[in-house]
Every structure is written in structure tokens, then in C-alpha cells.
Amino acid sequence: MRYTTLLIGMSVAMLSVVGARAQEGDATAGATVFKKCAVCHIADSDKNKVGPSLFGLFGRTAGTHPGFSYSTAMVDAGKAGLVWDPASLKDYLHDPKAKVKGTKMAFVGLKDDTEIANLEAYLKQYSK
């Protein structure tokens, strides 16, 4: 009788515990996502580049960073009440030109909600 390999399968049960940690957003992973923005934006200091600094973004009314020359579309969006928070940012990143029609931000958008959650966790480090 061959009963040598009967007990090997026991370790399989550990595989099911992996999926539960994506909701909160991971700032380290977000730093990687931010590379898509970093050609145009800085988040860890208050300097404008091609785009306005994203330092202290959450809570900011759209189109109001000092010293940046926004499109009238972005300024008008701010006047109409657009304030950056995780929800409005997610909307904007899904499709910038749909959320702020006429924005001069030349970015196709970010579709993946996990990437956006991670990016938000990253940006939160630099907001109050």
C-alpha cells in the first residue's frame, strides 16, 4: 500500500485570508500612483509646476492655489462650489474633462478605484 504523500495538502487553507485590506488606501502604493501626476504636480511641498501644487489639497476650493494660472473653467468650478475632498477628487480623476469642462489639465484620467484610494491616502499625508 502507498500512503506516503497523503498529508501534503494541509497548507492550502491559508490562501483565503488575503483580500480584505484594500478599502482604506495605502499611502505607499499611492506614492507609486502619484508618479502619473508627478510630471505636472508636486504634493510634498507648496510649489507649482505645470499644474498647481497638491500640498494641502483636501479642503481647498478648486482653482485657488496662489500663484497658479488656472483655466477659467477651473476658477469657475471653484466659484460654483467645487471643493477638493476624496469624493470630488475621485470624480475628477475618473474623467477630468467631464468633471471640469474646459480644464487645461491634460490627463486622460484614472479609472481604478483602488489606485485612487491609494493616491488619496498619499495626498492626505500632505493635507490637514
CB of 56 closer than 8 Å to CB of 128: yes
- List 24, 47, 50, 98, residue binding ligand HEC (CB under 6 A): 50
Q: Which is nearer to ligand HEC, 89 or 121 (CB)?
A: 89
Rounded distance, CA 112 to CA 115, Å? 5
The nearest distance, CB 24 to ligand HEC, in angstroms, is 18
- Let me know how long the chain is: 128
| Torsion sign over Cα 67, 78, 33, 98 | negative
The CA angle 119-40-80, to the nearest 5 degrees, is 75
Q: Which is nearer to ligand HEC, 21 or 35 (CB)?
A: 35
Spatial neighbors of 40 by CB under 8 A, at least 6 apart, are 49, 50, 51, 105, 107
Binders of ligand HEC in range 51-80 (CB under 6 A): 51-52, 54, 57, 60, 62-63, 65, 70-71, 73-74
105 part of the interface to ligand HEC, by CB under 6 A? yes
110 part of the interface to ligand HEC, by CB under 6 A? yes
104 part of the interface to ligand HEC, by CB under 6 A? yes
Q: Which is nearer to ligand HEC, 24 or 102 (CB)?
A: 102
Rounded distance, CA 6 to CA 24, Å? 41
For ligand HEC, the binding residues (CB under 6 A) are 36-37, 39-41, 50-52, 54, 57, 60, 62-63, 65, 70-71, 73-74, 84, 89, 93, 103-107, 110, 119
